[in-house]
Amino acid sequence: MPQPNPSATHPDRESAQWATQQVVTPDEQLIHRRHARSTGSRLAVEGAWPSLFSDGPAPRLLDLAIQAQESKGELSLDDEIRRYIRVVRGNWIANWNCSVYTASGVLELTADSVEHGEGPAPFPPEFQKKVEQAAGDVNPAEYLRMLAEIVRILDREPSLEYGELPMGGWEFRLTFPYLFGFDAILMDEGDQEFADTVRAAVTNEHPYCAESAAAYTTEAQRALVLFPGPDGLKPRLYWATRARLQELIATVNEHMQREHS
């Protein structure tokens, strides 16, 4: 009775045996690596990575670069990146999810994909547009590497205080999102007393108010520390004086003590 052929029943084993018998020269290894790098970059952009370029640090940093260019000198690219670094460092979740150092690596990865692929063409259209707009007459891969290097260099510096580098508009919205959103609630409520508006906002979320209640008080406390004068956040939010921020904290705490203690 014929005996089964192990190689025939296990094609992977046959392939593995063949691979171990081959001798690949250093020059061939270099060619294979270059080919893999080139095709890998192209396939990655077309396949598994589009979401990386539709959202995340690369498009965010390109947005800041474009804003600085369009400001015609009012905004500095270095200062906008310093603000970006300050935001990421000041938020544990953001820093844990994607540190500034990692963001610079994403830009380098993007540059490699552009250089060894087909330029920005395989990328999502919106991202492609941002790269071309930010780079201008500069080679896109070179521009992305330059931007990555700026991020790395500035990341070595300590974060600047707000007295040294004022908070930007986009930075304010990311630092105080709940207070910024409360502005719309106040406008909807019209002439209602401030404390009543705060109380209603928290009560409407009850009993699932832990996130919003904690966020309101945390942001208000942070604002009092960062901007200790009587105006508080009034230059940014018309209602957010020091007294109003304190009233917001007291009203939310009253709800928490009454309903959750």
For the whole model, what pTM was predicted?
A: 0.77
134 burial type by CB count under 10 A (0-12 exposed, 13-18 middle, 19+ buried): buried
Average pLDDT for the chain: 83
Residue 43's pLDDT is 41
Q: Which domain holds residue 64?
A: 51-155
Same domain membership, residue 147 and residue 84: yes
Same domain membership, residue 96 and residue 59: yes
Is 6 part of any domain? no
pLDDT digits (tens, 9 = 90+) for 190-205: 778 999 999 999 998 8
Overall domain count for the chain? 2
pLDDT digits (tens, 9 = 90+) for 67-104: 999 999 999 999 999 999 999 999 999 999 999 999 99
Q: Residue 221: how many CB atoms within 10 A of its CB?
A: 14
pLDDT digits (tens, 9 = 90+) for 107-160: 999 899 888 876 677 788 899 999 999 999 999 999 999 999 999 999 999 999
Is 166 part of any domain? no
Same domain membership, residue 146 and residue 79: yes
User: Helices in the chain by DSSP H: which ranges?
Assistant: 6-9, 11-21, 26-46, 50-54, 57-70, 77-89, 92-97, 100-116, 125-135, 140-155, 169-175, 177-189, 194-205, 210-226, 242-260
Q: Of the given ranges (22-36, 128-142, 155-169), which has the lowest mean pLDDT?
A: 22-36
Is 205 part of any domain? yes
